[in-house]
Amino acid sequence: MALWGRSGPVGGSPCRRTGEMERKILLETVGLECHFGGLRAVSNLDMRLERGKITALIGPNGAGKSTTINLLCGFVTPTAGRILLDGKDVTARPPHRLAKAGMVRTFQNGRLFSRMSVFENAQIGNSSRMAASVFDVVRRGLRWRTEEVNLRRRVRDLLDEFGLLADADRLVTELPYGKQRQVEMVRALAGSPDVLLLDEPAAGLNSVERENLALYLEELRGRGLTMLLVEHHMGLVMKVADHVVVLNFGSKIFEGTTEKTQKSSVVAEAYLGRRGIQHA
């Protein structure tokens, strides 16, 4: 599949210094906590995302998965603990600064602008990693224009690779649901993330779309992108994840390979206590 053939590497900051030792762990949480009143939505979470790998974060409903993503991308402020991105402490930074640092997310219930075209939706919000200053933007200076042209080209290439280029000028709401989710993925990738946080990307997809999603994720990993996959569809998780972290009632109860996760009685119990593991 030539999904990313023309646009070059998807992840990774273009300005990473050559010769610099790359850390194996790109994203780490240390004792991360989030309380909502008396409820511990996330409790003392130590989690490590290896560079260029897919880490799945799973658990029954209400286990704290979405809250963890919200903490990582700055939508929610932790009650305690630290978040380290490439060794730097980024705890409680606002979302726009985390996006600039390379942390980009998708949403459980896609957040597209219904009155905008596919292209506009894919392009919007992706100026966060631009180097141009406010002054450059106001003056519409050369640096801003160059970055704007590059972003448009990147969005166009990504739409092409997802087979969405012919739909670029259509209203996004005219597209079927599966394609709308792809637009969301293009928007996230256009931001050149180092870490992509995926909140239930398979929700609402049919089996063919889920198969394609698995192929996209494997392709992205092949390009070196680091991903956190929050997902209920165990078929997808077991197919693509390199490492699995399991939450229950906000706490990590298990982590390991997909094989070990499937065999774990602790994990089975956590799911059976609720509604059982949902297989794709």
Ligand X SMILES: Nc1ncnc2c1ncn2[C@@H]1O[C@H](COP(=O)(O)OP(=O)(O)OP(=O)(O)O)[C@@H](O)[C@H]1O
Query: Is residue 62 involved in binding ligand X (CB under 6 A)?
Result: yes
Query: Is residue 64 involved in binding ligand X (CB under 6 A)?
Result: yes
Binding to ligand X in span 102-131, by CB under 6 A: none
- Candidates 1, 25, 39, 131: give the one binding ligand X (CB under 6 A): 39
Nearest approach, Cβ of residue 67 and ligand X (Å): 3
Query: Is residue 61 involved in binding ligand X (CB under 6 A)?
Result: yes
Query: Is residue 63 involved in binding ligand X (CB under 6 A)?
Result: yes
Size of residue set near ligand X by CB under 6 A: 11
Which residue reads 């160059």 in tokens?
146
Query: Is residue 7 involved in binding ligand X (CB under 6 A)?
Result: no
- For residue 145, give every residue at least 6 positions away whose Cβ sits within 8 Å of its Cβ, in sequence order, or none: none
Q: What is the CA radius of gyration of the chain?
A: 19
Helix (H, G, I), strand (E, B) or coil at 105: strand
Closest to ligand X by CB, 36 or 135 = 36
Residue at 78: amino acid letter: P
Strands 80-85 and 88-89: antiparallel
- For residue 57, give every residue at least 6 positions away whose Cβ sits within 8 Å of its Cβ, in sequence order, or none: 47, 65, 68, 69, 228, 229, 230, 245, 247
Closest to ligand X by CB, 59 or 102 = 59
Query: Is residue 74 involved in binding ligand X (CB under 6 A)?
Result: no
Nearest approach, Cβ of residue 272 and ligand X (Å): 16
Which residue reads 């309380």 in tokens?
35
Nearest approach, Cβ of residue 32 and ligand X (Å): 12
- Candidates 11, 12, 59, 81: give the one binding ligand X (CB under 6 A): 59
- Candidates 36, 113, 135, 177: give the one binding ligand X (CB under 6 A): 36
Query: Is residue 49 involved in binding ligand X (CB under 6 A)?
Result: no
| Distances 179 to 73, 210, 238 between C-alpha atoms, Å | 25, 12, 24
Question: What distance in Å separates the CA atoms of residue 202 and residue 182, rounded to the nearest whole number?
Answer: 11
Closest CA to 83 of 189, 190, 195, 187: 195
CB 167 within 8 A of CB 139: no
Query: Is residue 56 involved in binding ligand X (CB under 6 A)?
Result: no
Binding region for ligand X (CB under 6 A) out of 60-68, 99-107, 174-182, 261-269: 60-68
Please count the CA atoms within 13 angstroms of the CA of 61 that sit on its side-chain side: 5
Query: Is residue 179 involved in binding ligand X (CB under 6 A)?
Result: no
Which residue reads 């519409």 in tokens?
140
- Candidates 7, 67, 123, 248: give the one binding ligand X (CB under 6 A): 67
Query: Is residue 188 involved in binding ligand X (CB under 6 A)?
Result: no
- Candidates 10, 26, 32, 41: give the one binding ligand X (CB under 6 A): 41
Query: Is residue 65 involved in binding ligand X (CB under 6 A)?
Result: yes
Residue at 235: amino acid letter: G
Binding residues for ligand X, rule: CB under 6 A, are: 36, 39, 41, 59, 61-67
